[in-house]
Amino acid sequence: MKENYVVSQCPSQVGKCSADEIYLKILNCIGPVAGILVAVVPVALALIPPPAQQLPIEAKLAMPAQKIELEVARTPEQVAAGLRSRSFLPLDRGMLFVVNQPKPVKLWMKDVLVPLDIIFIRNGTVASLVKNAPPCPRWKSCPIYDSVQPVNYVLELPAGSANRLGIQPGRKLDVELTEQILL
């Protein structure tokens, strides 16, 4: 008849472990797992895109054939978030960015998932524009788009809108605002 022996891993006595020894055993098991989590979780969180910002419709771009509803980004936080993480932008929607004092503006499409037309506006007139700026996922290096000259507004519309609506440099745009922000 064979006898089964249990060999204790506790150095103090065969079969009995002190509370300290049990605590150390638990730490020896949990330690490597915690170390892996400390290394992996921040990387995983960095790959998760931030939630998409949804601002209220506070303006409309009146065009001969269509009215485009505009979300208005006024605060630095709203401007920084812009249209990032949006997976879709309807043809009748866009975002108007308010620049308090006219100045040259540089922006990028970091974390923006849809192509856009970027329209730089000075006193209600199109100063310059970028047609069909491509999306730029989080892990890519993104180009910077420059207004070149001072502007007080930037308008982002779905790609192709500038051609479809006849928007070009020098064109006056009729933006109707629900609150006073003069173009």
Distance of CA 147 to the CA centre of its chain: 21
Q: Which residues of the chain have pLDDT under 50?
A: 1, 3-8, 182-183
12 & 92 share domain: no
Question: pLDDT tens digits, residue range 36-84?
Answer: 766 666 665 556 666 777 888 999 998 887 889 999 998 989 988 899 8
Establish if 18 belongs to a structural domain.
Answer: yes
Q: Are residues 38 and 67 in the same domain?
A: no
Q: Work out whether strand 125-133 and strand 93-103 pair parallel, antiparallel, or are unpaired.
A: unpaired
Domain co-membership, 23 together with 66 = no
Q: Is 102 exposed, middle or buried (0-12, 13-18, 19+ CB in 10 A)?
A: middle
Strand partners, 16: 13
Range of the domain at 13: 1-48
- Could you tell me the two tokens for 128? 């310059």
Report the pLDDT value the prediction gives residue 6, as an integer from 0 to 100: 44
Asked if 31 and 88 sit in the same domain, the reply is: no
How many domains in the chain?
2
11 and 66 assigned to the same domain: no
- State whether residue 24 is helix, strand or coil: helix
- Please check whether residue 183 lies inside any domain of the structure: no
**Residue in this structure with the two tokens 């003069």, named with its chain if needed:** 182
pLDDT at 44: 57
**pLDDT at position 132, please?**
96
Verdict on whether the full-model pTM lies above 0.75: no
Residue 85 shares a structural domain with residue 157: yes
How far is 163 from 168, CA to CA, in rounded Å?
8
Classify residue 182: in a domain, yes or no. no
Looking at residue 85, its pLDDT comes to 87
Q: What is the Cα–Cα distance from 67 to 55, expressed in whole angstroms?
A: 18
Q: Which of 27, 48, 69 is the last residue of a domain?
A: 48
Find the length of the chain. 183
Binning the chain into helix, strand and coil, the percentages to the nearest 5 are 20, 35, 45
